[in-house]
Copies of this chain bind each other. A is one copy, B any other.
Amino acid sequence: MTDPTSPLADLAPPIRSFASDNFAGVHPAVLEQIGRADAGHQPAYGDDIHTARCVERFNELFDADVGTRLTFNGTGANILALATLMGHLPGPHHAIVCSSWAHINIDETGAPERLLATKLIDLASDNGKITPDQLREVGHFQGNVHHVQPGIVSITQPTELGALYTPAEIKAICDTAHEMGMLVHIDGARIANATAALGGTREALRSFTIDAGVDVLSFGGTKIGAMGAEAVVFLNPAVAAGSEFLRKQVTQLSSKMRYLAAQFNGLLADDLWIELGANANGMALALHAQVADLPAIELGPAPEANSMYPFLPKEVLEPLQQWSFFWDWDESRNQVRWMAGWDTTRADVDQFVRGIRRLLEQSS
Contact = CB atoms under 8 A, between A and B. Distances in A.
Interface of A: 15-17, 19-20, 22-26, 31, 34-35, 37-45, 72-76, 79, 83-84, 86-93, 95, 106-111, 113-115, 117-120, 145-149, 222-223, 227-228, 241-256, 259-260, 325
Contacts of A248: 75, 93, 108-109, 111, 145-146
A118 B114 contact: yes
**Copies per complex?**
4
Given A35-B31, A41-B16, A256-B228, A79 B242 contact: no
A298 B51 CA distance: 37
B118 A110 contact: yes
A45 B75 CA distance: 13
Contacts of A241: 90-91
Given A109-B148, A145-B45, A250-B115, A88 B87 contact: no
A67 B94 CA distance: 21
Nearest to A17: B41
A111 B75 CA distance: 16
**Chain A facing B: main interface SS:** loop
Contact of A114 (B117, B149, B247): B117
A182 to B, nearest CB: 15
A251 B115 contact: yes
Nearest to A77: B251
A42 B26 contact: no
A41 B23 contact: yes
Contacts of A251: 72-73, 75-76, 79, 111, 115, 250-252
Contacts of A249: 92-93, 108-111, 114-115
Nearest to A255: B22
A133 B57 CA distance: 44
22 contacts: A22-B45, A25-B39, A25-B40, A25-B42, A31-B35, A72-B73, A72-B251, A75-B253, A83-B91, A90-B241, A91-B245, A93-B114, A93-B248, A107-B146, A110-B119, A110-B148, A111-B248, A113-B117, A114-B118, A115-B117, A117-B117, A145-B253
